[in-house]
Structure 1
Amino acid sequence: MILETIVTTQNLAGQPHIAPMGIHSDNEELVILPFRPSATLDNLTATQTAVINYCDDVRVFAGCLTGRRDWPLKPAEMIAGHVLASALAHSEVKVIRIEEDPVRPKFFCRPVCEANHAPFKGYNRAQYSVLEAAILVSRLNRLPIEQIDREIDYLRIGVEKTAGPREQEAWAWLIAHIEAFKKGVHA
């Protein structure tokens, strides 16, 4: 099973990095698969720790993919790291083994601390649409733009029918990013 999360890592100097990422849940292990090259990969390799944040504010997902990475953080409890302040829950993890891969190495992790901060009240269709659009934005260099346009047209229906202000803001960031990509302007 893949869980859409926000992963926070830090480099050896303690500088945090926030990235949306699909985490694989495999029994008691959580598997992080960062692409090469990436700050998440470098930080995981260096520190062997991360925080997996479970968040329903889709602006964080959209924001990280469109150059808005300055989200409030608080200190982790059991590892040197940072928890997303808006997380509904989080898992602080340590790497227990790595499977090397030329594209996406697998970091198998064990939780050392898990905490719930607020109840999850469910997603509306707009939140789902923003998450899916964020995934498309993360693949702008890998997918044909015609496919992205078709999928965005379908996802727009959920945004138009169920979005609140946070989802509308996140959607606008993603659409502007896609349009800039089409024009050759990389944000």
Structure 2
Amino acid sequence: MIFETIVTTAAPDGRPHVAPMGIRYEGGFVILAPFRPSATLDNIVATRAAVVNFTTDVRVFAGCVTRFATDWPTVAASRVNSVRLADSLSHAELELEDMSDDATRPVLRMRCVHREEHAPFEGFNRAQAAVVEGAILVSRLAMLPADKVDREMAYLQIAIDKTAGDTERAAWAWLTAAVARHRAHAGREPGGKTPEPAGELDPHPHHGELQ
């Protein structure tokens, strides 16, 4: 079972990094498996720490995937050499227990050493789930047929229209703009070649940080 979260890390010089990432739980540990190259992976290897943030602010997912908004406020973690989102429902602070190295996708086994609750969870919202699914689609634009993206985005639009608030509408606007940007860019590529995703966006099914 994979859970979509926001993982925050810090570089050795303290620079924060915020990334959507799918995590799973195994034997009491949190399992992260970022694809290379990944700032998240580099930071964890350097500091042996990370923070899993639980948030319903889906702008963070959409902003990071589209690169329209990446500078999310962070504060120092309480127990580990990392940072957490300043605004989240809760967070879990992790220390690296061990790593199974791999040229493509190392597996990190992280031990939770501290948890904090910041705000209550008020329930599930269909538009929030739609934004997360839309972020997954956007992270796969380099590998999915355009008609499949259009069909799935059209279906997700129903949840946006019926249940979204301002936060979800803003996030959805970034995702639809990213689809348009990708297609405009692809049209300019020699021979119509589809450009590869940038940064930590992973061409493997679901974001190298999302799953």
Instruction: Give the TM bin, normalised by the shorter chain.
Output: over 0.9
Deviation of residue 69 (structure 1)?
1.0
Deviation of residue 165 (structure 1)?
0.4
Q: What amino acid maps onto 1:135 in structure 2?
A: I
Give the match for residue 80 of structure 1: 81
Give the match for residue 180 of structure 2: 179
Q: What amino acid maps onto 1:79 in structure 2?
A: V
Deviation of residue 79 (structure 1)?
0.8
Alignment of 1:24-63 (within 5 A): 24-63=24-63
1:66 matches 2:66: yes
Name the count of aligned residue pairs.
Answer: 187
Q: Structure 1 stretch 65-74 or stretch 161-170: which is displaced more?
A: 65-74
Alignment of 1:132-171 (within 5 A): 132-171=133-172
Deviation of residue 141 (structure 1)?
2.0
Question: Helix, strand or coil for the counterpart of 2:62?
Answer: helix
Kindly report structure 1 stretches of 4+ aligned residues shifted beyond 6 Å.
Answer: none
Question: Helix, strand or coil for the counterpart of 1:36?
Answer: coil
Separation in 2, partners of 1:98, 1:65: 26
Q: What amino acid maps onto 2:7 in structure 1?
A: V
Q: What amino acid maps onto 1:174 in structure 2?
A: L
Give the match for residue 123 of structure 1: 124
Give the match for residue 12 of structure 1: 12
1:101 matches 2:98: no
Identity of aligned residues (%): 49
Structure with the bigger percentage of strand: 1
Give the structure, 1 or 2, with the largest relative contact order (CA under 8 Å, sep 6 or more): 2
Deviation of residue 44 (structure 1)?
1.4
Q: Deviations over 1:109-142 (max 9, x none)?
A: 0001111111111221110100100111122223
Give the match for residue 114 of structure 1: 115
* TM-score normalised by L of structure 1: 0.95
In structure 1, the gaps of 5 or more residues are: none
CA RMSD in angstroms, aligned pairs only: 1.5
